[in-house]
Structure 1
């Protein structure tokens, strides 16, 4: 590393630390990496979003920094993995193509030898010595062709094994890209894809489906009081309770920030409300402890909105109704479940139609 490179890297590091100090964000490695990347200017979209936050409020909260880390640093890791696998795949394809090219050249040469031998034999007048030489030459060419075929088979077999490993790695990367890195439940991208597939199936089979939308009550105040790491503990707790209370084809997901969602295929509104109440009570029943000090932090609560699919609903329309129910639960004092049946005006509200 030259002195110039060292000075540039030091400048980026100092800028990152200054931003962390300015925002009062703890200098954990993940936050340092975020602001170091911002200081280098290597990720234009990241810089645009950070600049927008700084322009709006003059600083960045820990929660906003966490969201940026999940969005940009994880994406960067995923792109790097895909890039590496793409390079390996490209090399394997090149190796296979080269092996096939060599085999084709050998096959053409062998074909030419056979044609020449055939011409000599049909021409007649070939003596015993010439026939022996011709047989020896054909035997030699045949053995060379057999060796080439064995090498090609080995190359193709090795490539088949390598491609199988790459396929497994790609599957793992895809699964990873569909999970929220903090809570280890499906993320928003996975939820969007699953909801689309479930709605298509529900419509085709004239079945039913319900959607639960959760919000952790007063989460920002909790985060500000006890810190980001304790806030992460709360998010993981809620995710754990969701997984424990959902069965079969039901799918929980982190919707964004402190919001979670659950898809309940083949579940009508009344059954969905029961599931939502069970989850709400389970979360409220758990007392939080700060791991570092065993300090009791009290309990957290959830507000929940519940909506049921209607013929003609798009995903957006269903989510919007669940969100209105969630908003009503918040407005009614939090820590409660509100469904469409609790809001009779929904029966006359038009919905988006595909």
Structure 2
């Protein structure tokens, strides 16, 4: 499916400020790159002669040298955050980090500083969200156990109180008057204490119910993207696993769309990150509103979004995605406050269906391949693979 042309519409994006950025002069940029290259070479043991032939039996470069070479090749400054990112990429400590870096390099030809910063912030967010989610799971398991104990304790206390009340009636028979009074007083005291314990258990139960609500809210936050309000990548991966299992059980089709905003770096560089953030939210709203109840929409990371269509094949899903794409390309966005023109915003998408032997990861990989084909064919289009 290719892009469709129609008359443009002006759309104001609330609160987008105008922002001017001057591109560095070519000579300044070239001198900066040369200084950066020399610094990285000196810090990481590089040689000035790039045409030197490697010696025979030369030892493999160390991880430190590999990090330095990667920084040099991508013109990244040797800062601690960049070193952290590249170190994780080379050692493949996080599959999602590796995939994100590979996609950024494929998209831009190298890993830019902006992309590196975004990837690192997302990885750190994912780790925090995963830690919080695990904490939520453990807390909920503990609460269930405590609730069971409290319920049992309440039942035991009630039974004990009933037994004591029965004994009080028996003691009012033939024993001595003083003894009977003492036993009755003791028994009445125990009954009162038991009732107090029951009240405390009821109060504790109410507190646990409130805590469950707080934990549910914490789980929602852990699985939400703070900027767009959509589900995040962790929530999508959980949803995808469940959807694949259900599709296998029911025999119903399942389709997935991988969407990426075209030239998003240009938008950020030209108008600033505040405008970029508002564009992300605007596109997220368009995808979510047009997808319907049978589609799960999530922000996968950066300017990438994923859409999971349960009960639909790839062709049906592609028609929905293409309708959103066509609607978006017809709009000409402007900053409402300043009137500054942002112009056309478009996205490319790849769509795939769940194959007979596919799992969720393979399905996502096929959609990703379709997305890059859409990029190579000129962007602002939807490509279907797997059918």
- Shorter-chain TM-score bucket reads 0.5 to 0.7
Q: Larger % of helix: which?
A: 1
Choose from 133, 136, 147 the match for 2:181: 136
Name the counterpart of 2:117: 65
The 1:302–1:197 alpha-carbon spacing in structure 2 relative to 1, beyond 3 Å, is same
Unpaired runs of 5+ in structure 2?
1-78, 90-110
The 1:257–1:204 alpha-carbon spacing in structure 2 relative to 1, beyond 3 Å, is same
Name the counterpart of 1:231: 276
For residues 34-62 of structure 1, the C-alpha deviation after alignment (integer angstroms, 9 at most, x for no partner) is xxxxxxxxxxxxx9754335899xx9845
**Deviation at residue 240 of structure 1 after TM alignment:** 0.3
Given that 1:53 and 1:60 are in contact with CA atoms closer than 8 Å, whether structure 2 keeps it comes out as: no
Name the counterpart of 2:306: 261
Choose from 52, 57, 64 the match for 2:84: 52
Alignment of 1:199-238 (within 5 A): 199-238=244-283
Q: TM-score, normalised by structure 1?
A: 0.67
The 1:67–1:229 alpha-carbon spacing in structure 2 relative to 1, beyond 3 Å, is farther
Unpaired runs of 5+ in structure 1?
1-46, 341-345, 348-354
Alignment of 1:238-277 (within 5 A): 238-277=283-322
Moved over 6 A (4+): 77-81
Distance 1:315 1:79 in 2: 23
The 1:274–1:77 alpha-carbon spacing in structure 2 relative to 1, beyond 3 Å, is closer
Name the counterpart of 1:13: none
The 1:302–1:206 alpha-carbon spacing in structure 2 relative to 1, beyond 3 Å, is same
Choose from 190, 194, 199 the match for 1:145: 190
**Deviation at residue 339 of structure 1 after TM alignment:** 0.6
**Deviation at residue 246 of structure 1 after TM alignment:** 0.9
Alignment of 1:16-165 (within 5 A): 49-53=81-85, 61-62=113-114, 64-72=116-124, 131-165=176-210
**Deviation at residue 290 of structure 1 after TM alignment:** 3.0
The 1:60–1:215 alpha-carbon spacing in structure 2 relative to 1, beyond 3 Å, is closer
Distance 2:259 2:128 in 1: 29
The 1:339–1:71 alpha-carbon spacing in structure 2 relative to 1, beyond 3 Å, is same
Partner SS for 2:224: coil
Distance 1:177 1:222 in 2: 29
The 1:51–1:283 alpha-carbon spacing in structure 2 relative to 1, beyond 3 Å, is same
Given that 1:209 and 1:263 are in contact with CA atoms closer than 8 Å, whether structure 2 keeps it comes out as: yes
Given that 1:180 and 1:254 are in contact with CA atoms closer than 8 Å, whether structure 2 keeps it comes out as: yes
**How many residue pairs align between the two structures?**
276
Out of 304-313 and 280-289, give the one that drifted further: 280-289
The 1:250–1:168 alpha-carbon spacing in structure 2 relative to 1, beyond 3 Å, is same
**Deviation at residue 78 of structure 1 after TM alignment:** 8.9
Partner SS for 2:365: helix
Choose between structure 1 and 2 for higher RCO, CA contacts under 8 A separated by at least 6 residues.
Answer: 2
Partner SS for 2:316: helix
Partner SS for 2:378: coil
Q: TM-score, normalised by structure 2?
A: 0.61
For residues 230-286 of structure 1, the C-alpha deviation after alignment (integer angstroms, 9 at most, x for no partner) is 111111011000111111231001111111110001002221111111111122233
Name the counterpart of 1:337: 382
